[in-house]
Structure 1
Amino acid sequence: MKKYSIPKKSLILVAVLISLLITLSLVSNALQNGYDLFQKALAKERGEGNLEEAISLYQKVVKEATDESLAAKAQLRIGICYEKLGRKEAQKAFQKVIDNYPSQTDTVKVAKEKLSILIKAQTIIKKGDTEFRIRKVWDYARMGGRGNMGRPSPDGRYLLYWDMGSNNVCALEFASKKKHFITKEAVLSASKDPSSKKPIEFHWGGSIWSPDTKKVAYSWLKFKNVFALKDAWDEEGNFKDSFKELRITGFDGSNTRILYSDDNLEEVNPLDWSQDGRHILAALISKDKIRQLVTISVAEGSVRVLKTFDTLTRGDGFEIGELFSPDGRHVVFDSQQENFSNRDIFLLSPDGNYEVALVEHAADDFVLGWTLDEKSLIFASDRTGTASIWVIRVSGGRPYGDPVLIKKDMGSFWPKGFDKKGSFYYAHETMVSDVYIAEIDSKTREILSKPKKASEHFVGSAMHPDWSPDGKYLAYISYPEYEQDALNPKSVIFIRSIDKGKEREIYIELRNIWGTCWSHDGRFILTVGSEKEGREGFYQIDVKTGNFTSILQFNKGDTVGAPVWSRDGKKIFCIYKHPEQKIARIMMFDLASEEKKEIHRDNFQCYYMAGRPFFPQDLVLSPDGQFLAFNVRERETRESILKIIPSFGGEATEVVRWEKGKIIMTADWTPDGKDLLFAESKFQRGYKFNFWKISVEGGEPQKLGLQMDRVYVLRINPDGQRIAFRAGQRIKEIYAMDNFLPVENRKSKGGQK
């Protein structure tokens, strides 16, 4: 038998090819391992707030990564983590980005900006002064939303807040983590004994400290003939048969007295207490919707009106807004000007006759407080592109010189105030949110697979999933820079191919986009958002080009939910509320005729994100386009209800009513239109949501065997074999920032602001 031999050159070529394949495989694995490690570090930093462990993981990425771009980003994150911790190592970390990765121009640019701020800060902090630091003082997730948090006490020991369980005023002691009841007289239901029947009353509104921390002023809501909390609201969402009082009490609840009361008041909120203890600055809102800024005498309760505003409420999450000047001779306030979207800061004389602009800029500016030397106003502004802290000198009731940047890139924060040492307290919320995909049985709808993240891009910031009409693509939104810029987050729409596993990014020059809805032909995505200086409206985004077109604009102050396209693309449905309306509506907008039609009105609850009001409730159209499904929380019973209504209008039908203490957040139709899948949770810390199925005809709901954290926006693939949903956790914390002001502003003269 003739033997064949392989030529030596061929053997060498095969060996080279095998070696090359092995090398490429190793490189590919190394790249993937480095990327996975980077995502774990991001999860530690943003999701858990464990900065020390995140730094350790980022350092490992820098050491092992073969991709220079990834290594540079990891080194930048190391600097950002150290900056959050208030550590000196931040400067060295940013310098390493500049020195070691000069070709990574975008990352280097960010590092240079941050390094410049740190160097400037060093030049104004003298040797021997206490070092700058940020410290977490409380995890407030267990005490409700940031709006329930009040001011820190002047001595820095306590934080006022509204206790959600009892509806009383409480003070949290930072050191012991104990709560002290300032009030105990809230009545939420009438006594069973008819002879002692008493109308309900409770704390509702703001609360502030006296300059010596010995007293608290707070809002109190009283009812005349309402004996149960479930009966407190009328059909328009107003408190019925009620009035507000402004009260003062001792820290121990003693010597309580009514300072001011008026049957015509809808709101009376204390804003600040003058340094001499003689006056309280307050906001009054009458039942005919007139908002006034007033001072109230602590001794006798007499009122002086300083200014009447066109805007009823602030609605931006920055709860300070109005303050006395340190000498008590003036009042500062921030206000959104008529016909302009930006907010500026003004100074007002005690008699209200003299008003001057302290800070005017195309950006949004918010009052925070006064420096301890009483010479400068501290304010927040997004003029650098992100929310940062600035100071401006004030002399003789006028601005002196230009504002000075003090702390850049504060991220998403909600100010609470200053103590007498100059420490700044603020609330910080991070929503760690990802989009997940799970396989389901097309007939029983039972969950067949463990949910997997749709993508590892921008971990912790994905939301609003929606399937394309053919089920081949999944669109979702990400806000990759929300933590750095809550006032103007950058938006990215991802289009993911389910079969190929590839993603395409569409960067949108719109602010705060909310919701994704594919057109029936799969060419466009509908969303709500606003252009840089424009009003909010509906925008149509071309899936191929990324170009967007405005198709409907709303008036200033309107609140809208995520839009839904009709099957023919000629109409848009959404949850909508005008500023003068208490009850929100489901509206239909005809794009051709420009007709607006009210479909239904119900108790849709409004929330805020980055200062923007929105409706988080789902509004989903049935596969045949004939019905809309939505969820509400009934005001009287506090029960969550899943309803359906004809898309052309008519009576709403209850599909399922969930017991008090539980909440339904999202639902979607099965492809055959016979069932609804929904997610519900108990009102509890963490919000563990369970998935259910129920027939649109009603009956008993069936549990699907899946539980996830905080589920929003559930969507079923048109093939009925997959679901996509947003899930995650909300991290809620209160921080104190010490020694962040220039030395000349930190010299105390005994002031408290």
Structure 2
Amino acid sequence: MRPRQLILILATAASLFAQAPSAQAPSAQAPSAQANVTLQRAMRKETLEGDLKGAIALYGKAVAEAKGDRATAAKALIRMAECHQKLGNAESRRVYERVVREYADQKEAAALAHTRLSDGGTFAQAKGDRALWTGPKVDLFGRVSQDGRFISFTDWSEGAAVAIHDLRTGMDRQLVKAGFGSSGYIGGAQFSTFSKDGKQIAYEWYDSKNQVQVRVVPVEGSGNSEPHVIFANPDVASINVSDWSPDRKWLAVHLRRKDRSSQIALIGADNGQLRVLKTVDWRGPSKLFFSPDGRQIVYDLPVSDASPHRSLFILDIDGSHETAVVENPSLNLIMGWAPDGQTVVFSSDRTGTMALYALGIANGKAQGQPRQVKAEGPEWSLGFSSTGALMVFKSIGNQDLRIAALDVTAGKISEIPSAAPTYIASRGRPDWSWDGRSVSYASCGNLGGANCRLLIRSTASGQIREVSHTLNYFVTARWSPDGSRFVMRGTDFKGRNGIFIVDAHTGVTTLVAEIDAAEPQWFPDGKSISYLTAGNSRVLRRDLTTGNERSLYESPDKLGSAVLSRDGRYLLATTRAISGKGSVALLVPVDGGQPRELLRVNPPDRIQGFGGANWMPDGSAALLIKGKAERKGNELWFIPINGGQPRKLNVDMSEWAGGTGFTLHPSGHQIAFVSGERQAEIWSLENFLPPVSAKW
């Protein structure tokens, strides 16, 4: 998979989980942001650590912090009651009663509490939730086989190969090779799905010329299995191969064209015939699922190009009739159509955080109202097995923002205080404001750019506030010199990709330029920015008032980074280690003159790309990350600008998150970075649907 396609996929995924902009004033956002941070910590303690008592305490703290945010408070109370229930504590009933009594305006939470009180809570217990697969290869772009034994996935460690994971034996098996072969780049896979008999897998493929195709490969084979192309079109940018019809004749796909139009379609599994059913918003559906009888498909779609909200629809496979079955001002994501044919399952944040719901369906129409069946909504679905087990993807890990004291003279980090309480800090590097009072960072729930919130942490107090924005996806928000704005690369809800400015107080988001750019940052005048152009070999300066641009530096090699000094006089440019070449750190005068080599790193070591290099605030030296073959062996180097030998600092980087970078306090005595690791799991949710007679 080429980087451009991966960015497109992440942007698509981000659109599914982006949060709606808040209408509150900035001063009113802080309690809600802090409460949500604590709520997420509590959920991790409950579900990942299994510490129910610790989770109860944190849920209580979230309620106290929520103040006017009643949706978050009600959600925290429901989770607290469930923890008490699992521990066998009578307190669970009192907490449910409190929700009914004090939060009647939170209809979903109050209705759930009523249900728990009336049935004694038995419905709330997770009777069959099991983690089936944990590890670095866990992937969200595949599907479960109908017998529930195999998961198809994209093996990124093997160049985006097509593979299957055996849930019974724990073994992986590659079906289609990818990445680079003896003759160069051969291609890579993305979305995949099983045929209902489990004998074939259909998948999205980017060939050696970066053209997208749909291919089919037999499951009973090896890395030498011969796939065959069933569909290819040069106007298509990506194809989400979502589901295979029960009669094995059709593939349900979401097809995005290069002109940014998007379509729901069927592709003939044997002959590649394309049948377009509906043209939709460029973001399209997250997934499509056939009904068990194969007569309809269910999917979610955005409600507008200015909101992350989604509704659920059912469409006849001949495209003749579409019915909205879930319309609610919230994010509703389809998880699947249950094997009984009478139930669709979806995740929704209608109560403030994602929960799992079931909705009765008859003749393509909704029956009654959705019923919450689990308090935690999955991030992504891999579909149902024939026995009714729902396979879902969950992000786990312990990534958090860290702030530490830095002593470059002694060459070490002298202390690492406790982590900032975040959801999961990720995507790009944090950024310290020019006055040193605040650190900004992206806090993401999953999928890299997905569900990312722009958070600001006070250096003095540690308090966190959230800046709402209207971006689908963004990478590394950079403070303006006066602290009033951020500049960042991102994609908005209209599908425009480029450079954006976000007001640090109001969240008002403005498109600067619709261009393929990277690493935008401010000149000290606050009136212009620099950025890397598409291809990552040229650095431009753009006047924000006139839109005029001029070239600052053009490299003969691909650049991994180009960081502007605080005084705006120099670029710290690093080249990428490609095709056996080493990587180099260069000092580039902005106003002309020859670049000067500061450090050369030979293979297999390399200078980390985006986020891996930064200036000491006084401009006298640079810090950069020297990447090793094993990431836990990475090194932090101090590079004097005007003489002196580069030297490795005695910094243990084993806990630093890969690829996220770092930022320095203006004093030069503190460093902020992201620690920990990102992992994922596949879970099986079983026996969670209510009996048919009691459903609706």
TM-score range, shorter chain: 0.7 to 0.9
Q: 2:191 aligns with which of 183, 186, 206?
A: 206
Q: Secondary structure at the match of 1:188?
A: strand
Asked whether the equivalents of residues 323 and 332 of structure 1 are also in contact (C-alpha less than 8 Å), the reply is yes
Q: Does 1:137 align with 2:118?
A: no
Counterpart position of 1:495: 458
Q: Tell me the distance in 2 between the aligned counterparts of 1:94 and 1:111.
A: 19
Q: Tell me, in whole angstroms, the C-alpha distance in 1 between the residues paired with 2:413 and 2:191.
A: 49
Deviation, structure 1 residue 211: 1.1
Report the CA distance between 1:740 and its aligned residue.
2.1
- Distance (whole Å) between structure 1 residues aligned to residue 519 and residue 636 of structure 2: 22
Match of 1:678 among 624, 631, 634: 624
Match of 1:55 in 2: 52
1:280 shift after superposition: 2.4
Q: Distance in 2 between matches of 1:120 and 1:83?
A: 13
Residues 358 and 398 of structure 1 are in contact (CA less than 8 Å); yes or no, is this contact kept in structure 2? yes
| Residue 710 (structure 1) aligned to one of 650, 653, 656 | 656
Q: Quick one: which of 267, 271, 289 aligns to 2:242? A: 271
Residue 740 of structure 1 corresponds to which residue in structure 2? 688
After TM superposition, give the deviation of residue 701 of structure 1 in Å.
4.7
Q: Give the AA of the match of 1:666.
A: G
| Alpha-carbon distance between aligned partners in 1 of 2:693 and 2:579, rounded to the nearest angstrom | 52
Name the aligned partner's letter for residue 693 of structure 1. Answer: F
Residue matched to 2:273: 303
Task: Tell me if 1:172 matches 2:165.
Answer: yes
Partners of 1:467 and 1:716 within 8 A in 2: yes
Answer whether contact 1:693 1:702 (CA < 8 A) is retained.
yes
Matching residue's letter, 2:242: L
Cα distance in structure 2, aligned partners of 1:129 and 1:520: 51
More divergent stretch after superposition (661-670 vs 527-536): 527-536
Q: What TM-score does the superposition give when structure 1 sets the normalisation length?
A: 0.68
Q: Is the 8 A contact 2:81 2:93 kept in 1?
A: no
Q: CA deviation at 1:303?
A: 0.4
CA-to-partner distance for each residue in 1:136-158, whole Å, 9 max, x for gaps?
111132x16x45x4111212222
SS of structure 1 residue aligned to 2:129: strand
Is the contact made by 2:389 and 2:687 (CA closer than 8 Å) also made in structure 1? yes
Cα separation, 2, equivalents of 1:83 and 1:574: 49
**Once the 2 structures are TM-superposed, how far is the Cα of residue 713 of structure 1 from its aligned partner?**
3.8
Show the 5 A alignment for 1:404-443.
404-410=371-377, 413-430=379-396, 432-441=399-408
Superposed, 1:393-404 pairs within 5 Å as 393-404=360-371
Alpha-carbon distance between aligned partners in 1 of 2:200 and 2:575, rounded to the nearest angstrom: 40
Distance 2:480 2:145 in 1: 53
CA contact (8 A) 1:272 1:282 kept: yes
On the 8 A contact 1:446/1:705 being kept in 2, the answer is yes
User: Residue in 2 aligned with 1:475?
Assistant: 439
Rounded Cα–Cα distance in structure 2 between residues aligned with 1:603 and 1:362:
50
Q: Report matched runs for 1:556-635 at 5 Å.
A: 564-574=521-531, 588-595=541-548, 620-629=563-572, 633=576
How far off is 1:495 after superposition? 2.0
- Counterpart amino acid of 1:172? H
- 2:318 is matched with 351
Larger Rg computed on CA atoms: 1
Whether 1:150 aligns to 2:142 is yes
Which of residues 511, 514, 517 in structure 2 aligns to 1:553?
511
- 1:731 partnered with 2:684: no
Gaps of 5+ in 2: 1-36
Distance 1:276 1:161 in 2: 23
Secondary structure in structure 1 of the residue aligned to 2:201? strand
Q: Distance in 2 between matches of 1:420 and 1:669?
A: 56
1:575-624 CA distance string (max 9 Å, x none): 68xxxx7879866453433546676799999xxxxxxxxx9x87642032
SS at match of 2:52: helix
1:216 and 2:176 aligned: no
C-alpha contact (below 8 Å) 1:385/1:488 kept by paired residues: no
Report the CA distance shift for 1:728/1:624 in structure 2 as closer, same or farther (over 3 A).
same
User: Distance in 2 between the 1:585 and 1:82 partners?
Assistant: 56
1:447 aligns with 2:439: no
Q: Does 1:370 align with 2:314?
A: no
Quote the Cα distance in structure 2 between the aligned partners of 1:40 and 1:343. 26
Q: Normalization by structure 2: what TM-score?
A: 0.72
Deviations 1:141-178 (A, max 9, x none): 2x16x45x411121222211122344432221223211
1:149-298 → structure 2 map (5 Å cutoff) = 149-167=141-159, 168-183=161-176, 188-190=180-182, 201=186, 203-223=188-208, 239=209, 244=213, 246-253=215-222, 256=226, 258=228, 260-262=230-232, 264=234, 270-283=241-254, 292-298=263-269
Q: Return the offset for 1:468.
A: 4.8
Residue deviations 1:439-464, cap 9 Å, x none?
313xx5712613334x6555965996
Residue 511 to residue 259, structure 1, CA distance change in 2 (3 Å)? closer
The 1:306–1:667 alpha-carbon spacing in structure 2 relative to 1, beyond 3 Å, is same
Q: Distance in 2 between matches of 1:367 and 1:62?
A: 28
CA displacement 1:107-144 (0-9 Å, x = unmatched): x9999976853653686899899963422111132x16
For residues 382 and 688 of structure 1, do their structure 2 counterparts lie closer, same or farther at Cα, with a shift above 3 Å needed?
A: farther
Shift, 1:360, TM fit:
3.9
Superposition deviation, residue 683 in structure 1:
6.0
Going from structure 1 to structure 2, the CA distance change for 1:138 and 1:696 (only over 3 Å counts) comes to: farther
RMSD between aligned alpha carbons?
5.3
C-alpha change, 1:379 and 1:48, in structure 2 (3 Å) is closer
Would the alpha carbon gap of residues 640 and 597 (structure 1) be closer, same or farther in structure 2, given more than 3 Å must change?
Answer: same
1:150 alignment partner AA: G
What secondary structure does 1:180 align onto? strand
Deviates more, 1:660-669 or 1:643-652: 643-652
Contact 1:478–1:491 (CA under 8 A) maintained in structure 2: yes
User: Identity, % of aligned pairs?
Assistant: 22
Q: Distance in 2 between matches of 1:386 and 1:565?
A: 35
1:453-483 CA distances to partner (integer Å, 9 max, x unpaired)? Answer: 4x65559659965445455x3434585x959
Task: Kindly state the Cα deviation for residue 366 of structure 1 after the two structures are TM-superposed.
Answer: 2.6
- The answer on whether the counterparts of 1:445 and 1:693 sit within 8 Å (CA) in structure 2 is no
Distance 1:250 1:456 in 2: 46
CA distance in structure 1 between the aligned counterparts of 2:187 and 2:311, rounded to whole angstroms = 34
Distance 2:453 2:264 in 1: 35
Q: Which residue is equivalent to 1:20?
A: none
State the SS of the aligned residue for 2:298.
Answer: strand
Alignment check: 8 A CA contact 1:209 1:215 kept? yes
Which moves more between the two structures, 154-163 or 356-365? Answer: 356-365
1:249 is displaced (CA, Å) by 0.7
Contact map agreement 1:343 1:366 (CA 8 A) in 2: yes
What secondary structure, in the 3-state scheme, does the structure 2 residue paired with 1:368 have? strand
Aligned length: 635
- 2:5 maps to what in 1? none
Secondary structure of 2:353 counterpart = coil
Deviation at 1:380, TM superposition (A): 2.8
Partner-residue secondary structure (3-state), 2:652: strand
Q: 1:251 to 1:290 in 2, by over 3 A?
A: farther
Structure 1 letter corresponding to 2:294:
G
Distance 2:56 2:318 in 1: 59
Cα 1:127–1:336 change in 2 (3 A) is: closer
Which deviates more from structure 2 when the two are superposed, residues 324-333 or residues 72-81?
72-81
2: CA distance between counterparts of 1:403 and 1:459?
A: 28
Distance in 2, matches of 1:407 and 1:244, equals 37
Unaligned runs of 5+ in 1: 1-38, 191-197, 224-238, 542-546, 606-614, 748-753
Compare 710-719 and 592-601 and name the one that shifted more. 592-601
**Corresponding residue for residue 356 of structure 2:** 389
